[in-house]
Amino acid sequence: ETGVTQTPRHLVMGMTNKKSLKCEQHLGHNAMYWYKQSAKKPLELMFVYNFKEQTENNSVPSRFSPECPNSSHLFLHLHTLQPEDSALYLCASSQKGGGTYTGELFFGEGSRLTVL
Amino acid sequence: RKEVEQDPGPFNVPEGATVAFNCTYSNSASQSFFWYRQDCRKEPKLLMSVYSSGNEDGRFTAQLNRASQYISLLIRDSKLSDSATYLCVVNPADRGSTLGRLYFGRGTQLTVWP
């Protein structure tokens, strides 16, 4: 079993649909992230949560709405998306300890989203 | 200018070859540097951190040149299993955050053939 689990693995939705991506980490980490990976582009950070509090929103459009009910679960709610939002959405977690960060993010396998 | 620029590749090398990837970063105040590996249709995973003095992990050697803002990864004696995309990753120091505000390069694709 992987440390970070994402569901669904694949999602196809129309522009008027509402759907959610789910992420769960079993590593006891205190920080969780959403990243977007588009073809031919670098990974883009979307949101950061530290102990359930959102600490970063990287200018993400409001059609993406994150939710972090506890330090083990993270959701990304999707509504009225555009075809250009089609991408691989990666959840990650990390452990922040003693004021330093090791640089190791543990990623889930991703949710591949296609917007028609 | 992009935060992290990588040699795009692709690199196609025979087994046993030595291959080097390069990466440059724009923020001179950046503090920490990493190489991640991403297999086809899989998630990225940390390969190794990059230290100022250079560091080695088996067949992999990472080097950092702060003056030139340049990072490299050398793979010796390439194996078929090394085929993947290698991501150069930088943690900028000026964000004021110690969390995962990492900048990723686009990645360099490596294929090792028998």
d(CA B49, CA B89): 9
Q: Which of B32, B99, B106 sits opposite A48 (nearest CB)?
A: B99
Q: Which two tokens stand for residue B106?
A: 């686009």
A53 neighbourhood in chain B, CB within 8 Å: none
Would you call B102 and A41 a contact, using CB atoms and an 8 Å cutoff? no
Q: Which of B2, B100, B105 sits opposite A92 (nearest CB)?
A: B100
DSSP A37-105: E-TTS--EEEEEEETTEEEEE-S--TTEEEEEEETTEEEEEEES--GGG-EEEEEEEE-EETTEE----
Would you call A105 and B100 a contact, using CB atoms and an 8 Å cutoff? yes
Say if CB A34 and CB A91 are below 8 A apart. yes
Tens of pLDDT, residue by residue over B48-103, are 989 888 899 999 999 999 999 999 999 999 999 999 999 999 987 544 455 557 88
d(CA B24, CA B27): 10
Q: Indicate whether A62 pLDDT > 80.
A: yes
d(CA A36, CA A87): 7
pLDDT over 90 percentage in chain A: 66
Q: Which two tokens stand for residue B95?
A: 């964000």
Tens of pLDDT, residue by residue over B9-34, are 899 999 999 999 999 999 888 888 99
A5 neighbourhood in chain B, CB within 8 Å: none
Distance of residue A101 Cα from the nearest chain B Cα, in angstroms? 6
CA distance to A11, B8, B30, per residue, from A39 (Å)? 17, 13, 26
Mean pLDDT of chain A: 89
Residues 6+ apart with CB under 8 A from A69: A52, A75
B98 neighbourhood in chain A, CB within 8 Å: 96, 99-101
